[in-house]
Structure 1
Amino acid sequence: MTDENTGNGAQQTITESVLSAKDIDFLLYDWLKVDELCSRQRFSDHSRDVFDSVLSASEELAKEQFAPHARKSDLNEPTFDGTAVSLIPEIKSALDQFAGIGLLSSTMDESVGGIQLPQTVAKACFAWFQAANIATASYPMLTMANANLLLEYGTEDQIQKYALPELDGRFFGTMCLSEPDVGSSLGDVTTKAVPDPDGGDGAYRIHGTKMWISGGDHELSENIVHLVLARAEGDRPGTKGLSLFLVPKHLVNDDGSLGERNDVVLSGLNHKMGWRGTTNTLLNFGEGAHTPAGAAGAVGWLVGERGQGLACMFHMMNEARIGVGAGAVALGYHAYLDALRYARDRRQGRPDGAKGSDSPQIPISGHADIRRMLMASKSYVEGGLGLVLYAARLLDESETAETQAERDRAALLLDVLTPIVKTWPSVWCLKANDHAIQVLGGAGYTRDHDVEQLYRDNRLNPIHEGTHGIQAKDLLGRKVVMSGGEGLKVLLEQMRSTLAEAAGTSEWNDEAAALSAAVDRIESVTAAVWSRGDPEVVLENAWTYLEAVGHTVLAWLWLQQGMAAEEVVRDRGHSSFLRGKIATARYFFTHELPLTGPWFDLVESRSTTFSDLDESWL
């Protein structure tokens, strides 16, 4: 049983395994060949031993400092007394140790204190923390993305005063987009920025309210760096009139010390279904509670060019979207491992066809329906982890490949895949959480086991950083047609390159044929739905298109994993892990890829079910 006051009891099972180190090793080294990156100048000081050391340290810290308080932070939500936010002390302790071993700046340039770790390795490291405690892990995830944006677009003064303290763990960061009446429709943002002639170049006074701001207020760090989307006074309406502003909780003096409290005020905390250890806030900017330098409004500084706020913010948003996909994988993976352990330990029932009640009961993992759910979950979480790490490998290629053409090609492919990286795990790894509860039965619906919290935590991922519907429109409405369809062309070429490789093997002929047909459907269906050029009709079934293309992409990556596993078998012999990897790849082709046929049919039909629907019929 779980002690709901201390978080002891069932929570202790988390520390046994929240993720698979064996799977991570396979994906990084046997499939993605990450150690080959060490031949490139940026990573030349590294080796596989270095990568393994950082991975091992991440696993250990995640299990020892993040996992033990996951339940406690869920049961003891943040509180606000009107002055300060209170959180359980274990959160700050864990975050201090995370920063202390340099993980906040692990991928950054050596010039800012980083160790220039490949993104692929860093994403695998961070997955341990997301699997162990997604709520606590959200603080560094946001801070790293915030600092990355400032390093890309910020002035030298902004980098020195705000980004570098973030990388040291002294300051944390947020992204402030949504407003109480403005969710995803960012063109309707009402927060305004008024030039401050007394504040120097790029200084503004910010007035407005931001809603759903994760990490928006707390006492975990000395300062909080808000990146605020607002409209400068006089700029045009819509998204092209938006700019990005750095608005700290506390101003910073020229010598780096904290100065006056800025006019950023916590109005209240949102109480959530999951991620309860992450503060989620309503923030008021410039309401007059604090008036730095005696003027009205929160002090902020322009980041990047005026009117280019959304373009700058997408640097952080795209990183966050890959992080959301990774978090969804991690939570689904954790739940799958919990369900697998339970299914192997729990004895109930007898084999089908067994006669007589005197025969011994068997572990429920011996029942076909339980195996069905476990195998489906395994295909989702291992496939999802492969998807996230493949995306990270593309990011490494886009930054360090030998030629500019190779870098551009990798960046284009990553751009096309980003809506899938965010959305596919948010749907299908959440399904793994659902399966985990079902495997445990009634026990899974109680707080005696972690799976109910893991489900609640994962349910956020289909919502934040762009809902499924937004990602679907982004994929079909923009990504596959941008640059004259060049991004889609690159994706199809990469898939067909794998098919050509599979054609040279005898083990994967059937799977390659099935994937080839699905890849052809992506090409033909995309052309068909855009043939009339009517966006309203095209986008009506964008969600179904995203499902179909996403499942095809996962089948492609599973084919790669399956072939990599076969190669390892030839070199090192069979193991249960490798047999399981190959069996899961074949499962995906047998049970999951066939779903894409009806999905593609529906998209190609240009069904107008929803536009024809009268709202009064609902």
Structure 2
Amino acid sequence: MRQTLDFLLYDWLQADTLKNRSRFADHSRDTFDAVLDTCERIAREKFAPFNRVTDAEEPRFDGERVIQPQATHDASRAYVESGMLAAAQDYEIGGMQLPCVIEMAANAFFAKGGIGMGGGGMLTSGNANLLMAHGTPLQKEVFAKNEFSGRFFGTMCLSEPQAGSSLSDIVTRATLDGADAAGDPLGPRYRLRGNKMWISNGEHELAENIVHLVLAKIPGPDGALVPGTRGISLFVVPKKMVDAEGRLTGERNDVALAGLNHKLGYRGIPNTLLNFGEGKFPVRGSAGAIGYLVGQPGEGLRCMFHMMNEARIGVGLGATMLGYAGYEASLDYARGRPQGRPIGPGGKDATRPQVPIIQHADVKRMLLAQKSYCEGALALELYCARLVDELHTAPPELAAEAGLLLEMLTPIAKSWPSEWCLEANSLAIQVLGGYGYTRDYPVEQYWRDNRLNMIHEGTHGIQALDLLGRKVVMDGGKGLMLLANKVNATIQRALMLPALAEHANALAGALKALGNATKAAWASGVPEEALANATPYLQAFGHTVLAWVWLDVAICAQEHLEQATAAGQGDTALLHGKLAAARFFFRYELPKVPAWLKVVETRDDTCRSMNDAWF
């Protein structure tokens, strides 16, 4: 993996050139590599050896505390001590001012080593980043900075038992806490009452405190909750009360664990149902969890999207690395497992010794599919991280362009690896055969862990609705046009290389078909008709984006290969591998796009016209 990571970072994305920007002026490739080396070592020593332990020894509640294996505590402490929680932050608050692309590459090692142990770090940094963007100066000082240091950990509390993805239907309410509530130094103080479901890391003993970011509604003058998302506000709700200096006051906030969810995978992270304001821990003399308003009333969802979008890219990276872990495990197995004999002119010769299964074409097919999915997804996630660096440090015009492109790609960055790197995990099990289905090998756990990623941080269907219903039509299709221009620029470069011209022409055809289907989907102007087949559209869009990414990577690999050949350099296996994976994707995967788009462009009504009685 490290060779691929270095190739994508430095040869393809040229991340080392970021040192020329003032924010990263203290860095060089040496400092970037030092961070990668450190994280790779910690993941190898503290995460990977205990991944199976944390899967088998699920978090449990003893009535007072959530109990987790010692390995989880050790891994969490090692991650905090690495400084990665504040990796991209300013020096003044203990950060390293690392580029986002390096931060994401470094975090890839933890996701691959033990995603059930490292997910809390993503949540904590995302929580703190939101507060840095939307919180008051004191909220940044008391909550965000203590999260960056690892003293506090963070969560996001959106869903409710009766309102999973339908956030407009949440009923957790927040009311002002007394006459002096508006003047609280930590922000307008409210009392929250309600229940939140599916809260990762909602209760644990890994840090001094847990900082919950909670969506709730402030009742109107008539006492009724404002319907829809416009009534949602955001609150920071600490598990333990703190003063204006960030010190624990010794009071427990009225946030109670109602239960742990027992999951198919991702078992290392406690997944919780939390009750806010049930009176189990009355604070300051009465029931109701104390929370401090973040931003303005009614703007909670807008603020929370800061964390949600960051989390979606993080989910995509996690899905990618679970797929990658399975790929490496099945590749290692295929190289060492003798079975069967090659077919010769006279058929199979049973007197000859067996060969490793990697010599069989169908096993190579499964391995190539995994390689094309996982390495392509990794390239996409790193590209999105590079866009974040452009957004924050490029000149204004380029920064705006990067922001728009990032907005277009976020649904793909979350959904595509969640589907296709899960498929890679399924293929890894298949390569191992019956052994893959047992707990003697890790590939079954990778599949179980990865199955969650199509669900959390916005299901596949929600990403599809966001893409076709909002992203491709916003500003008159400005974002889609920008992405198409980027794809066409790559196509033109590839046409100059004879070895890649076939792929370039195939991508041009897919891009044209995607554009036609987008117009056809909305031709009637009826959203119900357009969006009924949003998921096939998402799949076609994602495959087109990944073909673009692979073509761009292939250009880089082809140019390096030609240079190496001209210079007489011998070891070009890495480059040949990239080109073979790209060829596989174009010949085996991209042809799926027209079938997906057919139901989109015809606004097929098979699904939306299905009567529930017919099931």
Per the normalisation by structure 1, the TM-score is 0.96
Asked whether 1:302 is paired with 2:298, we answer no
Q: How do 1:349-498 and structure 2 match up within 5 A?
A: 349-353=340-344, 354-401=347-394, 403-498=395-490
Asked whether 1:119 is paired with 2:120, we answer no
**Residue 538 of structure 2 aligns with which residue?**
546
Q: Distance in 2 between matches of 1:66 and 1:196?
A: 43
User: 1:255 Cα shift?
Assistant: 3.3
**Residue 223 of structure 1 aligns with which residue?**
209
Which letter does structure 1 place at the counterpart of 2:74?
Answer: S
Aligned pair count?
598
Asked whether 1:275 is paired with 2:280, we answer no
Contact 2:341 2:349 in 1 (8 A): no
Q: Distance in 2 between matches of 1:79 and 1:505?
A: 58
Encode CA deviations 1:251-299: one digit per residue, 9 max, x unaligned.
1123322111100000111101111110000100001111221132000
Q: Distance in 1 between matches of 2:285 and 2:130?
A: 30
Q: Distance in 1 between matches of 2:478 and 2:16?
A: 30
Aligned partner of residue 73 in structure 1, secondary structure: helix
Q: Distance in 2 between matches of 1:384 and 1:280?
A: 27
Q: Distance in 2 between matches of 1:113 and 1:295?
A: 38
Q: Distance in 1 between matches of 2:242 and 2:432?
A: 52
Asked whether 1:72 is paired with 2:53, we answer yes
Q: Distance in 1 between matches of 2:449 and 2:141?
A: 35
Counterpart selection for 1:343 from 334, 338, 361: 334
User: 1:444 Cα shift?
Assistant: 0.5
Q: Distance in 2 between matches of 1:410 and 1:532?
A: 32
Asked whether 1:180 is paired with 2:161, we answer yes
Contact 1:195 1:233 in 2 (8 A): no
Encode CA deviations 1:84-118: one digit per residue, 9 max, x unaligned.
11000111111111111211100112222111111
**Residue 568 of structure 1 aligns with which residue?**
560
Contact 1:194 1:232 in 2 (8 A): yes
Once the two structures are aligned, what percentage of the paired residues are identical? 53
**Residue 149 of structure 2 aligns with which residue?**
168
**Residue 519 of structure 1 aligns with which residue?**
511
Counterpart selection for 1:254 from 226, 240, 244: 244
Encode CA deviations 1:430-455: one digit per residue, 9 max, x unaligned.
00100000000000000000001111
User: 1:617 Cα shift?
Assistant: 1.0
Aligned partner of residue 207 in structure 1, secondary structure: strand
Asked whether 1:207 is paired with 2:220, we answer no
Asked whether 1:320 is paired with 2:317, we answer no
Contact 1:426 1:461 in 2 (8 A): yes
Once superposed, what is the RMSD of the aligned Cα atoms? Answer: 1.0
Asked whether 1:332 is paired with 2:323, we answer yes
Aligned partner of residue 210 in structure 1, secondary structure: strand
Q: Distance in 1 between matches of 2:80 and 2:611?
A: 54
Asked whether 1:581 is paired with 2:581, we answer no
Encode CA deviations 1:493-515: one digit per residue, 9 max, x unaligned.
11011111112222211111110
Q: Distance in 2 between matches of 1:505 and 1:80?
A: 60
Aligned partner of residue 175 in structure 2, secondary structure: strand
Q: Distance in 2 between matches of 1:255 and 1:120?
A: 33
Which letter does structure 2 place at the counterpart of 1:395?
Answer: V
Q: Distance in 2 between matches of 1:355 and 1:268?
A: 58
Aligned partner of residue 284 in structure 2, secondary structure: helix
Moved over 6 A (4+): none
Q: Distance in 1 between matches of 2:534 and 2:245?
A: 52
Per the normalisation by structure 2, the TM-score is 0.96
Which letter does structure 1 place at the counterpart of 2:63?
Answer: G
Q: Distance in 1 between matches of 2:438 and 2:402?
A: 45
Q: Distance in 1 between matches of 2:559 and 2:60?
A: 54
Structure 2 unaligned regions, length at least 5: none
Counterpart selection for 1:241 from 217, 228, 231: 231
User: 1:161 Cα shift?
Assistant: 1.2
Q: Distance in 2 between matches of 1:506 and 1:375?
A: 23
Asked whether 1:105 is paired with 2:90, we answer no
Q: Distance in 1 between matches of 2:75 and 2:607?
A: 48
Asked whether 1:591 is paired with 2:588, we answer yes
User: 1:524 Cα shift?
Assistant: 1.5
Aligned partner of residue 59 in structure 1, secondary structure: helix
Q: Distance in 1 between matches of 2:402 and 2:271?
A: 35
Counterpart selection for 1:90 from 50, 71, 76: 71
Q: Distance in 1 between matches of 2:525 and 2:89?
A: 43
Structure 1 unaligned regions, length at least 5: 1-19
Encode CA deviations 1:537-571: one digit per residue, 9 max, x unaligned.
00000000000010010000100111101121233
Counterpart selection for 1:529 from 497, 506, 521: 521
Q: Distance in 2 between matches of 1:109 and 1:609?
A: 53
Q: Distance in 2 between matches of 1:505 and 1:345?
A: 37
User: 1:475 Cα shift?
Assistant: 0.3
